[in-house]
Structure 1
């Protein structure tokens, strides 16, 4: 199975915070696109105009951990604009990485492939 580390973040944009979200999203996409091992970083918006999902895939756990440094630099701005409702991790990860995601839903891969 893939050694990729994959997670998704789900949340709702806070009232009056769409412009702030757009700013932090732009900044985070720009810096994440330059990270070694960052494979996917896709932000999507539901038809309701307030529900967002962010799909993230990293080459391995080292790349995922490196991204958490970027997250740490932007977390306060993101959390000021979004109420995070759920984080789902779709990979087997170390206890150290799990600890970075308190309350996340942990999914264990049981089959499939990545190309």
Structure 2
């Protein structure tokens, strides 16, 4: 695991925005595929369509910073109009630069204390 950073986010979809958010998400996924430091970029939707669960994983803090900077410029305003963050949990030890960005998003942090990953 080393320098890898991941996060899990729960988003509440604002009323009437699910279809718009699905379209935006498709664009975000296509764009993010070109970012070499992104290992996982997945979205899950609740059965009632009111919540979206985000899982993102990066090779290191620098890759996460690059992603967040590109995301903010390209999608931030539209994203914030469609959803509200309910919680944002970061796994790993982010750099000071990344932590500064994540703090502004209301992130909380957890550190690995035991376990393994077969993910390569």
Shift of 1:23: 1.8
- 1:111 counterpart residue number: 114
Task: Indicate the SS of the match to 1:100.
Answer: helix
Runs of 4+ in 1 over 4 A off after TM superposition: none
Task: Indicate the SS of the match to 1:101.
Answer: helix
CA contact (8 A) 1:8 1:56 kept: yes
Count of matched residue positions in the alignment of Structure 1 and Structure 2: 115
Rounded to whole Å, the distance in 2 between the matches of 1:13 and 1:80 is 9
- 2:85 counterpart residue number: 84
CA contact (8 A) 2:62 2:98 kept: no
- 1:70 counterpart residue number: 70
Rounded to whole Å, the distance in 2 between the matches of 1:93 and 1:112 is 19
TM-score, normalised to structure 2, is: 0.89
Q: What runs of 5+ residues in structure 2 fail to find an aligned partner?
A: none
Task: Indicate the SS of the match to 2:24.
Answer: helix
Rounded to whole Å, the distance in 2 between the matches of 1:113 and 1:76 is 37
Task: Indicate the SS of the match to 1:7.
Answer: strand
Shift of 1:88: 0.5
Q: What is the aligned-residue RMSD (CA, Å)?
A: 1.2
Shift of 1:61: 1.4
- 1:5 counterpart residue number: 5
Shift of 1:48: 2.2
TM-score, normalised to structure 1, is: 0.92
Shift of 1:57: 0.4
Q: What runs of 5+ residues in structure 1 fail to find an aligned partner?
A: none
